């Protein structure tokens, strides 16, 4: 499959959320919305109950929360395309991944930099998506640690069919390398939200990650 750029919304401001969603829907039908509780992540972002999106959009909800089970009822009612839970939370996420899938919602796992995929074999085996998280929780920008690409091979050894995502520090200078490293979904925040013409940047990045390299 070809790699894809997925814009990310990371804010606690309803007006900024609305502005970002309206801009993004003009050039991408898939978007990631970040949720943070101020506990697992050091900031609070848009609460789950205030998430919304335009009809026809495919929404991935990235839950940076300590106890995702506390949010499951509302997530199941919201019916996003996918919910991504962190492997490092206080509770076993395996039954939550199963609950999401039974409810027709794709299940995702996010791995912080120190997290070794081999310790999560059962969860990765049942997941639809594994996100390699190379950023800072609750913040946009930062620098991508390309050493994290080593995890792609490990994840694929556990689940050959899983979709691989990457979040953190993606820009025009490294997007091609990340895509060539086996990443299917490149979540991009600051490079789009801070751009004067985000649609043009999105188009250029899509062309960049799907160009044919010479190796």
3-state secondary structure 103-148: CCCEEEEEECCCCCHHHHHHHHHHCCEEEEECCCCCCCCCCCCHHH
CA distance 87 to 89: 6
Q: Are 52 and 26 in contact (CB under 8 A)?
A: no
Span 82-141, pLDDT tens digits: 999 999 998 999 999 999 999 999 999 999 999 999 999 999 999 999 999 998 786 776
The pLDDT, as a whole number, for residue 215 is: 47
Query: Residue with structure tokens 């791995």?
Result: 111
Q: Are 96 and 68 in contact (CB under 8 A)?
A: yes
Indicate whether this model's pTM tops 0.75: yes
If pLDDT is split at 50, 70 and 90, which confidence band does 143 have?
A: confident
Span 44-79, pLDDT tens digits: 999 999 999 999 999 999 999 999 999 999 999 999
Cα-flanking dihedrals φ and ψ of residue 37, to 5°? -105, -5
**Distance in angstroms between the alpha carbons of the first and the last residue of the chain:** 19
Query: In which region does residue 141 sit, left (phi positive, over 0), alpha (psi from -120 to 50) or beta (all else)?
Result: left
């Amino acid at each position: 499959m070809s790699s894809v750029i997925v814009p990310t919304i990371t804010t606690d401001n309803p007006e900024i959320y609305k502005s970002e969603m309206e801009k993004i829907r003009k050039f991408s039908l898939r978007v990631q919305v970040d949720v943070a509780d101020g506990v697992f992540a050091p900031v609070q972002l848009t609460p789950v109950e205030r998430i919304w999106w335009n009809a026809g959009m495919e929404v991935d909800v990235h839950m940076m929360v300590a106890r995702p089970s506390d949010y499951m009822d509302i997530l199941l009612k919201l019916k996003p395309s996918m919910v991504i839970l962190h492997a490092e939370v206080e509770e076993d996420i395996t039954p939550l991944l199963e609950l999401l899938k039974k409810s027709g919602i794709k299940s995702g796992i996010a791995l912080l930099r120190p997290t070794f995929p081999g310790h999560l074999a059962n969860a990765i085996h049942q997941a639809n998506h594994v996100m390699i998280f190379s950023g800072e929780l609750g913040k946009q920008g930062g620098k991508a640690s390309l050493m994290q690409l080593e995890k792609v091979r490990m994840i694929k050894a556990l689940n050959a069919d899983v979709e691989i995502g990457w979040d953190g520090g993606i820009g025009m200078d490294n997007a091609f390398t990340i895509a060539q490293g086996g990443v299917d979904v490149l979540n991009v925040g600051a490079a789009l939200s801070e751009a004067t013409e985000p649609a043009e940047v999105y188009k250029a990045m899509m062309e960049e990650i799907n160009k044919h390299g010479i190796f």
